[in-house]
Structure 1
Amino acid sequence: MTTPSGRFATTPEPPYYAVIFTSLLAENDEGYGAMADAMYALALEQPGCLSAESARDADRVGITVSYWRDEESIAAWKGLARHLVAQKVGIERWYTHYELRVAKVERAYSGPEGRSVD
Structure 2
Amino acid sequence: MFVVIFRAKPGQQDQQYTEMVAKMRELAFEKYACLDFVAATEGEQEIAISYWPDEASILAWKNDPSHALAQSMGQNKWYQSYRVEVLELKREYTFESTSKVAG
Uncovered stretches (5+) of structure 1, i.e. residues with no partner: 1-15
Alpha-carbon contact 1:48-1:70 (below 8 Å) kept: no
Aligned to 2:101: none
In the alignment, the residues of structure 2 paired with residue 24 and residue 111 of structure 1 have an alpha-carbon distance, to the nearest angstrom, of: 32
Q: 2:58 is matched with which residue: 47, 65, 74?
A: 74
Q: Number of paired residues?
A: 97
- Runs of 4+ that moved beyond 2 A: 110-114
Structure with more of its chain in helix, by fraction: 2
Percent identity reads: 34
Correspondent of 2:30 among 38, 45, 50: 45
- The alpha-carbon deviation at position 53 of structure 1 amounts to 1.1
Gaps of 5+ in 2: 99-103
Aligned partner of residue 70 in structure 2, secondary structure? helix
TM-score (structure 1 length as normaliser): 0.75
The structural deviation recorded for 1:36 is 1.2
Task: With the length of structure 2 as denominator, give the TM-score of the two structures.
Answer: 0.85
Aligned letter for 1:93?
K
1:93 corresponding residue in structure 2: 77
Distance 1:47 1:34 in 2: 19
